[in-house]
Amino acid sequence: METQLEDLQIVVVESPADTWEHPLVPDLFRDMIGFKLRGYGREYPYGVLAVDGSDLISSHLLLCRKEKASGSLRPIMGMRWTSHVKCRAHFMKFPGLSLFEQAGVSEHVDALKEVLRAADSRGIEVFYAGSFTIEPSERRDKAHSIFFREILTLMFVNYQMDHPGSELMAGGTIRFKMDKYIERLGYEPFQWNGRKLGPIQVRHLAGEAVHVMHLRKFSFEARQTAAKWEQLWQERLWIRNENAVNLNAGAAKRAG
């Protein structure tokens, strides 16, 4: 595989609405939208959008390629983490709840509301991790696919470690076998009245079948994979607004 680690940089952009004045954020945000439009456009019919308003208040975990000629960072893979506390602060509906309500799955809605109530009582955040995309030109062969999947695992595990106690939701698209991938990470189906809840049809993905699941603790396999690439995470660029982070932590404690 031709990719060299020294050519790559992990960048975490916290809430572009709070960090927009950082000199790198406007270009990173624009380029992120670009590769997501290309990535989603390759797999979905016209009308499916890769971005929405929650992008401005979410955390973006990006794998960037270092452009030697310009010295810039070009995002080639990424995902978005959206906090239920942050959504509340900005008067927006939590993405996981929107998915379930639009799909008309009342048991899923009830199960998630119970998870959110429990999180509020403990003063922790629940994140919806989604909008996973790879730049189409980077999808070269099986070796690259395995590498990118392992870096995605690194991002999943280590970002949660930076938010102790947090819980995650994620949607595994069945067509791409992402449901099997997140199960290996430790995600489990939501449960209601002792019964595991199955996949839903996601409206904004043109009815795509997605299994939305819940995670409290990563599997040994996931943590082992993350440890393999730990150096790349340690060298990450983390763009955040300290005041905003502190305010969010306080909001989480007051949420109950």
pTM of the model: 0.91
Among candidate residues 42, 45, 75, the one with its CA nearest the CA of residue 205:
45
d(CA 10, CA 14) in angstroms, rounded, equals: 13
Nearby residues of 155 by Cβ (< 8 Å), 6 or more positions away: 10, 61, 63, 79, 233
| The pLDDT value given to residue 254 | 40
Among candidate residues 230, 163, 226, 238, the one with its CA nearest the CA of residue 11:
238
d(CA 131, CA 81) in angstroms, rounded, equals: 9
Q: Write the CA distances from 2 to 78, 126, 147, 153, 167, integer angstroms.
A: 20, 37, 11, 20, 35
Asked if residue 20 has pLDDT above 70, the reply is yes
Across the range 20-29, mean pLDDT stands at 97
First to last CA, the chain: 49
Nearby residues of 146 by Cβ (< 8 Å), 6 or more positions away: none
| The pLDDT value given to residue 244 | 63
Q: What number of other Cβ atoms are within 10 A of residue 16's Cβ?
A: 20
- Give the model confidence (pLDDT) of 229-255 as tens digits: 999 999 999 999 877 645 444 444 443
Across the range 191-201, mean pLDDT stands at 96
Across the range 2-18, mean pLDDT stands at 89
Percent of the chain whose predicted confidence (pLDDT) is above 90: 86
| The pLDDT value given to residue 68 | 83
Work out the mean pLDDT of the chain and round it to a whole number: 92
Nearby residues of 68 by Cβ (< 8 Å), 6 or more positions away: none
Please give the tally of structural domains in the chain: 1
| The pLDDT value given to residue 69 | 81
For the chain, counts of helices (H) and of strands (E): 10, 11
- Strands 167-173 and 126-134 come out as parallel
- Give the model confidence (pLDDT) of 217-228 as tens digits: 999 999 999 999
Range of the domain at 176: 5-254
* CATH number of the domain where residue 48 is located: 3.40.630.30
| The pLDDT value given to residue 256 | 29
Whether 125 contacts 119, CB under 8 Å: yes
- Give the model confidence (pLDDT) of 132-157 as tens digits: 999 999 988 888 889 999 999 999 99
Cα atoms in the Cβ-side hemisphere of radius 13 Å centred on 8:
19
| The pLDDT value given to residue 167 | 97
Across the range 212-221, mean pLDDT stands at 97
d(CA 176, CA 180) in angstroms, rounded, equals: 9
| pLDDT band at 3; cut points 50, 70, 90 | low
- Give the model confidence (pLDDT) of 154-189 as tens digits: 999 999 999 999 999 999 999 999 999 999 999 999
Asked if residue 76 has pLDDT above 80, the reply is yes
